[in-house]
Amino acid sequence: MKPEREMKYWRSLDELARTPEFVEAVAREFPTDEWDRLPPATRRQFLKVMGASLALAGLTSCRWPEEEIVPFARRPEGRTPGVPEQYATAMELGGSTLGLLVTSVDGRPIKNEGNPLHPDSLGALPATAQADLLQLYDPDRSRRLVERRGDQEFVRSWDDFAAWTAERFAGDGRGAAILAEPSSSPTMARLRRRFTETFPAARWVEYQPISRDAERDGLAFAYGRPLRAVPHLDRARVVACFDADPLFEHPASTRLARHFAESRQPSRERMSRLWVAEPAFSITGGRADHRAAVPASAVPAVLARVARELVAVHGLALPEAAVNLEAAFGAAAADGNGFVTELAADLAAHRGTSLILVGPGQAPEVHALAAVLNHGLGAVGSTLGYTEVTDPDRPSHVRAIAELAAAMTAGEVETLLVLGGNPVYDAPADLGFAELLVGVPHSAHLSLYDDETSRRCGWHLPRAHGLESWGDGRAWDGTLSFQQPLIQPLYDGRSALEVLATVVGDGDAGGHGLVRETALESFGAVDFDNAWKRALHDGVVAGTELPVVEPELDGSALARAGAGLGALVAAEPPSAVKPELVLIPDRKVHDGRWANNAWQQELPDAVTKVTWDNVLQVAPPTARELGFAEGDVVTVSARGASVELPVSIVPGQAAHTLTAALGYGRTAAGSVGNGVGGDAYRLRTSDSPWLVPEVAVTATGRSLAMATTQDHFAIDAMGFGARLDRIPILIREASLEHFLADPEVFHHMVHHPPLKSLWQDREYPGEQWGMAVDLNACTGCNACVVACQAENNVPVVGREGVVRQREMHWIRVDRYFKTEPGVGPMEVDQAEMVFQPMTCVQCENAPCEQVCPVAATQHTEDGINAMAYNRCVGTRYCSNNCPFKVRRFNFFNYHKNLSEVAKLQFNPEVTVRSRGVMEKCTYCIQRIQKVRIEARNGNRPIRDGEIVPACAQTCPARAITFGDLNDPTSEASKLREDKRAYATLAELNIRPRTQYLARLSNRVGEPAVPEGGHGAHHGGDDDHGKEAS
Amino acid sequence: MTESKSSDIFTFPKWTWILRPAVAVALVGGLVYVSVFVYLAFSPKATDVGYAPIQPVPYSHALHVGQLGLDCRYCHTGVEIAAHAAVPPTQTCMNCHAKVRGESEKLIPVRESFATGLPVPWIRIHDLPDYVYFDHSAHVRRGVGCVSCHGRVDTMEVVYQAEPLSMAWCLDCHRNPERHLRPVEFVTRLDWVPGEDQEVLGARLREEHDINPKETCYTCHR
């Protein structure tokens, strides 16, 4: 059969162009090992080395090392040594909290998971929040208070600091300022009130580089006061995103991804449609049914055209207050763009169930227009809820720090206490914050690391990690959550709350006392102890979300937005001589705070698949115009500042629009993050923090071998020629209409002769584990990769290692681009993106098992293809024979040089592998065994859903389901009976135990049955792609 | 021999005569080497059977268990619910020794630990490799007695390793669990003897409790 739209799938431009490098890379299981070869040794040298190693080996094997058992003197009540416990806590990011459930073994937190009771976590977590745990054990964390005077450093104590604050914050606080990170914490708000009451003349400034201030200001334009927008994707049938990435770059992204996945059920009534107009691929863009690559500066015009179309063609009546905007969007040039007309028609047809979202990188005026349209389309109260903000009076972060910088320039700031953040690194470049800070006579910085800002302050104060401190905060919808420490501060750090309490003279209360006092105020004294215990146990207080308000549009505020909007709509699109640069928060290190986090650095970026670097994303035709090739290092400059970045040619990027991620090029991040990538903050200015218009790009003549995984472990299904045709059988897709008309469509994508096994089938009297991965839910967000890494002690190999294709992630998220056939690699201007998480599928007829000479990889009685690491001798035959390329080999002992403190993170339930050992996914065998033993001890069967592998546990979209295939009522069994279920490479008769559920698209006007139906090439002996195992 | 005929290439030269005795020596030597290697590898010295390190406190299991009749689970509280049986906290010692023999010199480390909160550094005797995941609860709850692996601890003045704890030894029992099964209520009774033939009792218990020990790698290695 033919897919409804003839499309080609490929992973990289190299693959599309079939470069010799790509052919070579696919042909080899492991790249060449030239870099590992030792210089040729003489016979004498060889004998010397071997003799010495033998002698040493003999010595060490004389006796096992003596081990000590050190039990508690007094064991805490209810604690059983070696039994993991989970505690609910929370972490704050960007003024909103995520609920965590942290696993602790013998007092060591080892894994962050989502708190199921928390409205923004729902049991799952994004990769960043999981990787934050690694920061707790980072050996580069600062360990002492330092006072710097000139070139001298003095080690100080917290008492010395208390004396300093008493001296510096005195009288009415004139000349003193605190620069804090935004916080949703009620305790922080309470302390802040005390601070402003005690020191009325002191300044309080809140800044962080990545915020949703544009949305907030835009809503202030529309409604006369700042509001918080809470989208409900589960109620929306049509979602239009304008440079917005709700599925990833949003404080409530986990909830939004979950609800979006729920809205993609394969039925006409229940499947939503997603429209995205954006300058560069985002996670949401990858899921779009219709996507337009539009320069960031042209996004307002696209929204304006949609507005015009809605009003002019579909008769959308805008509220009277919005009249002033009509002039602005009415001027938008009408063109025959199908995207705009179809989108407008779709929105108009789904009044009350549609939703328009605008990203934080767009100007407030664009948000105001979207708010007006949402209002007019009846989204408010249905797919969109508004709540009041808890801090209505604060200026935008960028304005706040600009005002602080002005005061510093004027010499009005004598004392500056910086509570967290890293403004020297991430403040807008035009403010010259670093120099201004040096000019402040008395300054102090609280931070996990002795970083860029600390080095320019008089004092550096070690900060307690989130898992070491008490706190509270609010979720995006306002739900109150509590943060409790899992461990005593490792390095005598203190939290921002505790330091602020010292300033206001409440230093003795401690984090616990401070948070408890705030809770006492809000819970009331009646039955407080129970309420407090309950809140700490649950991590959240149910029913504390902020009330939903139904605001009225404010005509006068909107009138002010109109002028700005008109200018934005009329903006000149970028050109080859005047390309624009879009700055985005990095999907891994965010604003740079996770720069020293090796898990995040080694995580392949969802779109570019680049690790250990940030890149300059360029569209293929633009790269051709500018004369750049993949990996060319170029200088991007604007307004006298410049940054050097390697070029990454990314399909689906808007023409003449360059994209660079913030958060790299750190100089004082630590041993992992220093010098990784280029610092795009240098180009960021306070008047336009997200878009740098008219940049100049010049080649440096150098080229960089980027550590990208995009061609790694490519599956070579059947020779290179057939390869591109074969990818659609790995990733199966069809339109909703097609699927509804022909539910067997996915099983007719592959035909092969009946499969006969050479081996006798095993019998599985007990459980038989299996997995289903729903490609229709997966967003490609990488959360599973980090969850697996944390759970299974997967090592980090470093930049060089990734370049040599030695990354160890057990799960890789394959990212394929799709284009119309016949489009050359450098002509691609519109592309689609598909994700497929790929890990060991636990074949029933596993090719790896058949070639292992020492039986180190074996089939278990419940169908898992298990590894006995201590038996592996490292022949790598298994990896060569694996059709999915999911086995990973330890070329070195990657854990050898880890510091003792970093080893505290290890999961004691999983062997730490050494050099020369093959490893791979085993469905989290340790979790299976744990539940199995518990169930057997309790004389009961294992319940469905009781065993949850780490990846399935943390998937925001719940794309992964694990269960017993012998139990027909289990969720996994049911999903494998789904019409969308298919086995990858089934024609090899490997009978994978993980099956995928095909992805569905829901485009406007797709035919139910495409040309050329099924059956044309059915042979007599034909079998179908779907087979039972 | 300076001249060579063409047939010489099919004749072994003289110097190869030494090969015959050399091969004989290698064969005999190899046999001796293998036997000695195997003997040493499985000797108690290699498997640590009899390993009895000196502990910081001369705690006598013979006294506490054998004479006073303490149950194993009084101290090793995790044994039925967790992978680790767990060495007890100092608190457990002090439950009695706050009153009993409160002045004893031998108990100084215990009292010190209780006063300072620092642990008593016991020396591990039964030490499995780090890649072995043994679960006490899985065995004890099925009726494998403590004595099967730990020996007659109730007679040990100083605890020593009684069994080799090697993989072959583990598999022996996983293949033939009948020899070590007993009614669950008697698992901690170290001196318990079955009233009937052990094999018959074991087979019956195995049947009753559906005990099918696994031999796949992942049972112990993850």
Nearest Cα of chain B lies from the Cα of A933 at a distance, in angstroms, of 6
Question: Would you state the pLDDT for residue A1016?
Answer: 40
Among A760, A782, A753, which residue's Cα sits nearest to residue A601? Answer: A782
- The pLDDT tens digits for B5-47 are 566 677 788 888 888 899 999 999 999 999 888 887 777 666 7
In this model, does residue A15 exceed pLDDT 80?
no
Q: How far apart are CA A402 and CA A139, in angstroms?
A: 34
> How many beta-carbon contacts under 8 Å exist across A and B?
121
The reply to whether B74 touches chain A by the CB within 8 Å rule is: no
Read off φ and ψ for residue A837, nearest 5 degrees. Answer: -70, 130
Residues of A within 8 A of B116 (CB-CB) are: 73
- Which of A69, A72, A866 is closest, CB to CB, to B218? A866
- Which of B53, B127, B218 is closest, CB to CB, to A860? B218
Please name the residue of chain A whose CA is at the shortest distance from the CA of residue B90: A73
Across A119-237, where does the E strand assignment appear? 145-149, 152-156, 176-180, 203-206, 227-231
Residue whose entry in the numeric block shows the structure tokens 């979300």: A545
Q: How far apart are CA B129 and CA A352, in angstroms?
A: 63
List, edge to edge, every strand of the sheet that includes A960-964: A960-964, A769-774, A994-997, A981-982
Q: How far apart are CA A314 and CA A307, in angstroms?
A: 10
Give the confidence band of A723 by pLDDT, cuts at 50, 70, 90. Answer: low
Question: Would you state the pLDDT for residue A26?
Answer: 67
Nearest Cα of chain B lies from the Cα of A110 at a distance, in angstroms, of 17
The reply to whether B100 touches chain A by the CB within 8 Å rule is: no
Query: How large a percentage of chain A has pLDDT more than 70?
Result: 91
Q: Where are the alpha helices (DSSP H) in chain B?
A: 19-41, 44-47, 61, 72-75, 90-97, 108-116, 136-140, 146-150, 167-175, 198-209
The reply to whether A938 touches chain B by the CB within 8 Å rule is: no
Average pLDDT over residues A813-836: 82
Q: How far apart are CA A815 and CA A213, in angstroms?
A: 32
- Sequence-ordered list of residues with C-beta below 8 angstroms from that of A734, at least 6 positions apart, any chain: A3, A4, A745, A746, A998, A1000, A1001
User: Are A68 and B221 within 8 A, CB to CB?
Assistant: no
- Chain-centre distance of CA A942, in angstroms? 33
**A923 φψ region: left (φ > 0), alpha (ψ -120 to 50), beta (else):** left
Residues of A within 8 A of B184 (CB-CB) are: none
- Which of A71, A864, A922 is closest, CB to CB, to B119? A71
Average pLDDT over residues A772-792: 94
Q: Between the CA atoms of A496, A502, A504 and A510, what dihedral angle is there, to the nearest 10 degrees?
A: 80
In this model, does residue A332 exceed pLDDT 80?
no
The reply to whether A925 touches chain B by the CB within 8 Å rule is: yes
- Which of B83, B122, B130 is closest, CB to CB, to A68? B122
Average pLDDT over residues A43-48: 73
Question: Would you state the pLDDT for residue A706?
Answer: 86
In this model, does residue B74 exceed pLDDT 80?
yes
For A822-832, letters b (16+ CB in 10 Å) and e give: ebebbebbebb
Read off φ and ψ for residue A834, nearest 5 degrees. Answer: -130, 140
Average pLDDT over residues A900-927: 93
Residues of A within 8 A of B114 (CB-CB) are: 73-74
- Sequence-ordered list of residues with C-beta below 8 angstroms from that of A376, at least 6 positions apart, any chain: A310, A316, A317, A318, A319, A322
- The pLDDT tens digits for A143-172 are 999 999 888 999 999 999 999 999 999 889
The reply to whether A860 touches chain B by the CB within 8 Å rule is: yes
The reply to whether B121 touches chain A by the CB within 8 Å rule is: yes
Read off φ and ψ for residue A700, nearest 5 degrees. Answer: -95, -10
Please name the residue of chain B whose CA is at the shortest distance from the CA of residue A793: B222
The reply to whether A62 touches chain B by the CB within 8 Å rule is: no
For A690-721, letters b (16+ CB in 10 Å) and e give: bbbbebebeeeeeebebbbbbbbbbbebeeee
Give the confidence band of A3 by pLDDT, cuts at 50, 70, 90. Answer: very low
Q: Where are the alpha helices (DSSP H) in A852-1007?
A: 877-880, 900-903, 925-937, 950-954, 971-977
Average pLDDT over residues A633-643: 92
What is the rounded average pLDDT for all residues in chain A?
88
Residue A1025, both tokens:
């792609």
Answer whether A104's CB lies under 8 Å from A87's CB.
yes
Average pLDDT over residues B167-182: 92
In this model, does residue A784 exceed pLDDT 60?
yes
Treating both helix axes as pointing N-terminal to C-terminal, what angle do A496-503 and A186-198 enclose, rounded to 10 degrees?
A: 20
In this model, does residue A331 exceed pLDDT 90?
no
- The pLDDT tens digits for A509-541 are 899 999 999 999 988 888 999 999 999 999 999
Residue A148, both tokens:
């710097």
DSSP letter string over A228-268? EEEE-GGG-SEEEEES--TTTSSTTHHHHHHHHHHTB-SST
Please name the residue of chain B whose CA is at the shortest distance from the CA of residue A61: B46
DSSP H or E run through A895: none
Nearest Cα of chain A lies from the Cα of B93 at a distance, in angstroms, of 10
Residues of A within 8 A of B97 (CB-CB) are: none
Please name the residue of chain B whose CA is at the shortest distance from the CA of residue A79: B78
List all residues of chain B from 197 to 216 with a beta carbon under 8 Å from chain A.
214, 216
Give the confidence band of A42 by pLDDT, cuts at 50, 70, 90. Answer: low
Q: How far apart are CA B176 and CA B173, in angstroms?
A: 5
User: Are A929 and B133 within 8 A, CB to CB?
Assistant: yes
DSSP H or E run through A798: helix A798-803
Nearest Cα of chain B lies from the Cα of A80 at a distance, in angstroms, of 6
Query: How large a percentage of chain A has pLDDT more than 90?
Result: 66
Residues of A within 8 A of B133 (CB-CB) are: 909, 926, 929
For A373-394, letters b (16+ CB in 10 Å) and e give: bbbbbebbebbbbbbebbeeeb
Nearest Cα of chain B lies from the Cα of A949 at a distance, in angstroms, of 14
List, edge to edge, every strand of the sheet that includes A415-419: A152-156, A145-149, A459-462, A442-447, A415-419, A176-180, A203-206
In this model, does residue A439 exceed pLDDT 50?
yes
Nearest Cα of chain B lies from the Cα of A855 at a distance, in angstroms, of 10
User: Are A864 and B218 within 8 A, CB to CB?
Assistant: yes
- The pLDDT tens digits for A382-413 are 999 999 998 888 999 999 999 999 999 999 99
Answer whether A359's CB lies under 8 Å from A242's CB.
yes
Residues of B within 8 A of A81 (CB-CB) are: 78, 82, 84, 86
User: Are B221 and A864 within 8 A, CB to CB?
Assistant: no
Residues of B within 8 A of A923 (CB-CB) are: none
Residues of B within 8 A of A858 (CB-CB) are: 216-217
Residues of A within 8 A of B218 (CB-CB) are: 860, 864, 866, 868, 922, 925, 929
Taking CA A347 as the corner, what is the angle to CA A346 and CA A351, rounded to the nearest 5 degrees?
Answer: 120
Average pLDDT over residues A750-763: 80
Q: Is the dihedral of CA A874, A880, A882, A886 positive or negative?
A: positive
The reply to whether A411 touches chain B by the CB within 8 Å rule is: no
Residues of B within 8 A of A926 (CB-CB) are: 133, 222
Please name the residue of chain B whose CA is at the shortest distance from the CA of residue A861: B216
Answer whether A238's CB lies under 8 Å from A223's CB.
no
In this model, does residue A719 exceed pLDDT 50?
no
Average pLDDT over residues A544-571: 88
- Chain-centre distance of CA B213, in angstroms? 18
DSSP one-letter code for B156: -
- Sequence-ordered list of residues with C-beta below 8 angstroms from that of A975, at least 6 positions apart, any chain: A772, A774, A961, A981, A995, A997
Residue whose entry in the numeric block shows the structure tokens 């629009």: A657
Total Cβ atoms within 10 A of residue A174: 14
Residues of A within 8 A of B89 (CB-CB) are: 71-75
Question: How large is the C-alpha radius of gyration of chain A?
Answer: 29
- Chain-centre distance of CA B114, in angstroms? 31
Residues of A within 8 A of B141 (CB-CB) are: 936-937
Residue A264, both tokens:
């993609």
For A530-569, letters b (16+ CB in 10 Å) and e give: ebbeebbebbbbeeebbeeeebebbeebbeebbebbbebb
Answer whether A759's CB lies under 8 Å from A1028's CB.
no
What is the rounded average pLDDT for all residues in chain B?
89
Average pLDDT over residues A608-632: 91
Total Cβ atoms within 10 A of residue A151: 5
Asked whether this complex has an ipTM greater than 0.90, the answer is no
The reply to whether B99 touches chain A by the CB within 8 Å rule is: no
Answer whether A306's CB lies under 8 Å from A541's CB.
no
Q: How far apart are CA A386 and CA A379, in angstroms?
A: 11
Nearest Cα of chain A lies from the Cα of B126 at a distance, in angstroms, of 10
Question: 3-state DSSP call for residue B209?
Answer: helix
Answer whether A303's CB lies under 8 Å from A377's CB.
no
Nearest Cα of chain A lies from the Cα of B9 at a distance, in angstroms, of 31
Residue to substitute from B218, B220, B221, interface A, most A β-carbons within 10 A: B218
User: Are B89 and A71 within 8 A, CB to CB?
Assistant: yes
Residue A571, both tokens:
């903006």
Question: Would you state the pLDDT for residue A56?
Answer: 60
A336 or A961, higher pLDDT: A961
Q: How far apart are CA A410 and CA A863, in angstroms?
A: 72
User: Are A937 and B137 within 8 A, CB to CB?
Assistant: yes
Residue A465 identity: H
In this model, does residue A561 exceed pLDDT 90?
no
Please name the residue of chain B whose CA is at the shortest distance from the CA of residue A766: B212
Q: How far apart are CA B155 and CA B67, in angstroms?
A: 9
Give the confidence band of A725 by pLDDT, cuts at 50, 70, 90. Answer: low
Q: How far apart are CA A242 and CA A701, in angstroms?
A: 36
